[in-house]
Chain A
Amino acid sequence: SQELEQSPQSLIVQEGKNLTINCTSSKTLYGLYWYKQKYGEGLIFLMMLQKGGEEKSHEKITAKLDEKKQQSSLHITASQPSHAGIYLCGADETSGSRLTFGEGTQLTVNP
């Protein structure tokens, strides 16, 4: 089965700083999903990437998919305390019936 590795596992930044979270797959990526989870809550969908080289943005969050490297990166510009939470990447397996998730990156943004 597909394995996803996220880095870093945790990240503490000062408000206003930029940051990047990476998600690397052990297999070819057919679809890559980014979710955010706040403590005690469910996951919130952020973005879905399907094509190599695809890049999507939502407010100050940008995600890119590099199919050749089997990797996706999530970049946050000018981070705010509201960005704090756990970011998880999920990959679409070849069977198309499930998502496999990475272990998550815990982001803390200090004011």
Chain B
Amino acid sequence: DTAVSQTPKYLVTQMGNDKSIKCEQNLGHDTMYWYKQDSKKFLKIMFSYNNKELIINETVPNRFSPKSPDKAHLNLHINSLELGDSAVYFCASSPISPGEQFFGPGTRLTVL
């Protein structure tokens, strides 16, 4: 059973489009995260939710909007995609914040 799953695994789209990435965890964790890993493999936190409430919102463009319908899901919607948004996006969850985090397999986003 997959602990933290993300869909899609790959996403190729044109500049200006709007896209969503979904994340689900079946570990019963209260805290979920979105990270962005750039081409240099640098991993940086974007958002963190605890029990559906936003607790961390890094300096991320307003085009990025996370949504947590319940504590097992944290989706990421991106409006007006730009070339610089190309990266691998990782979802993670942890039982406590920050704690040991369990990562999803990542979504490789390519903006053309």
Task: Using CB atoms and an 8 Å cutoff, list the residues of chain A in contact with chain B.
Answer: 31, 33, 35, 37, 40-45, 48, 86, 88, 90, 92-93, 96-101, 103-104, 106
**CB-based contact B103/A97 at 8 Å:** no
| Range class of the B interface residue count | 20 to 34
Instruction: Work out how many contacts link A and B, with CB atoms closer than 8 A.
Output: 57
| Shortest distance from the beta carbon of B15 to any chain A beta carbon, whole Å | 24
Q: Which of A41, A90, A100 meets B106, CB within 8 Å?
A: A41
Q: Is the CB of B105 within 8 A of A42?
A: yes
Q: Is the CB of A103 within 8 A of B40?
A: yes
Knowing that A31-B98, A97-B55 are A-B contacts, what are 8 other residue pairs whose CB atoms are under 8 Å apart, sorted by A's residue number? A33-B100, A41-B105, A42-B4, A42-B104, A42-B105, A42-B106, A43-B90, A90-B101
In the complex, chain A residues whose CB is within 8 Å of the CB of B44: 101
With contacts A103-B40, A103-B42 known, is A43 near B103, CB below 8 A? yes
Asked if A45 meets B101 with Cβ closer than 8 Å, knowing A97-B56, A98-B56, the reply is yes
A104 pairs with B56, CB closer than 8 A? no
